[in-house]
Amino acid sequence: MASESYRPGIWRLRFRAAGVRNAAALALLSLMGCGPAPSEPDGLSGLRPYDRITLAHDGSDGGDATLGGYYAAVLHGFFLQEGLDVTLVQPARPEGSALAMVAAGGADYGVADADRILIARARGQEVVGLLAPVQTGLAELTDAPDPATDFAEETEWDPYGRVLLTGADRIGERPDQVARMARAAARGWRRYIEDPEATHAYMRSKREALDEDRLIADHRALVPRVNNAEARIHGIGTMRAERWADLHRRLKDADQLGPEPGDPESAFNASFVPGPPDEADLLLNFGR
């Protein structure tokens, strides 16, 4: 299993830290005796261990622009600030998938498109979408051979893309962790949309074959697809039941869901979409 991770340590001081830049890094320095810990209005919330998390995706090592927000969340420490030590992984076998890894318990979270989630659920894999960063037009940004993407183009539907997902059991057992994961991922996507340069450098450090001009062009094309009108109102990653139901109907009509197509309302949980950022979150996110 290929993997990449950013691990500065095992323990952290958890801060709500509105207006504090890079609180996790400052807290780590304090613990090492290198400087004072930043203060917060409500005091310290105490020591706690990181949750060690695997996040599976189907891209190559280093990903591509359509995964940029997840790489940004790792690079800029947004997962760490939520107490999550996230490792990005890919399936070990070419025929494997991130979604199957999550369904089988081989990864804690994954990234897949909405049509794949519905198809997987029809096959008995209890995975649930949490956050849909790419709102529209994903097929126009991908050129790797992908039967699901090709089929979406042929049938002219437009599924949510690069959806953060997890198993239904985890939502029931660890809803706080799921909320933190979705919150950090949304911050990563906001940061990537606003300022992709550092993330692109990080991604290229993982895979030198990534073409910088292609990353820049794809990022430019992604911006209106991620930060569209709905996302600006309801937050990056927002999801509507009507779109899931329409996609489910189209897949069913195309005989993609089999004899037990399942219920589209169970395929996603929009309660974990963080919503639009408040002023304090923007200060943390962009360091201003």
Q: How far is the first Cα of the chain from the last one, in angstroms, to the nearest whole number?
A: 38
Output the pLDDT for position 162.
96
Q: What is the pLDDT of residues 203-248, one digit of tens each?
A: 999 988 899 999 999 999 999 999 999 999 999 999 999 999 999 9
Contact, 130 vs 272, CB < 8 A? yes
Output the pLDDT for position 143.
52
Contact, 20 vs 280, CB < 8 A? no
Rounded to 10 degrees, what is the CA torsion of 12, 128, 185, 10? Answer: 20
Q: Which CATH architecture has domain 54-286?
A: 3-Layer(aba) Sandwich (3.40)
d(Cα 221, Cα 168) in Å, to the nearest integer?
A: 33
Residue type, 255: D
- CA 111-149-220 angle, to 5 degrees, is 70
Q: In what order do the strands lie in the sheet with 127-131?
A: 3-5, 84-89, 51-56, 109-112, 163-167, 127-131
Helix axes 175-194, 212-226, angle to 10 degrees: 120
Helix axes 68-75, 212-226, angle to 10 degrees: 100
d(Cα 163, Cα 135) in Å, to the nearest integer?
A: 9
Residue type, 69: G
Per-residue pLDDT of the chain (288 residues; tens, 9 = 90+): 544 443 433 333 333 333 333 444 434 333 333 333 323 333 334 456 899 999 999 987 667 899 999 999 999 999 999 999 999 999 987 778 999 999 999 999 999 999 999 999 999 999 999 999 999 887 776 554 444 444 455 556 789 999 999 999 999 999 999 999 999 999 999 999 999 999 999 999 998 889 999 999 999 999 999 999 999 999 999 999 999 999 999 999 999 999 989 999 999 999 999 988 764 354 444 443
Q: Give the ranges where 195-234 is alpha helix by DSSP (H).
A: 197-206, 212-226, 229-234
d(Cα 158, Cα 15) in Å, to the nearest integer?
A: 39
d(Cα 32, Cα 196) in Å, to the nearest integer?
A: 31
Question: What is the SS3 assignment for 48?
Answer: strand
Taking Cα atoms as reference points, which of 63, 73, 66 lies closest to residue 207? 63
Output the pLDDT for position 49.
85
The pTM assigned to this predicted structure is 0.78
Strands 127-131 and 163-167: what pairing? antiparallel
Output the pLDDT for position 155.
53
User: What are the boundaries of each domain within the chain?
Assistant: 54-286
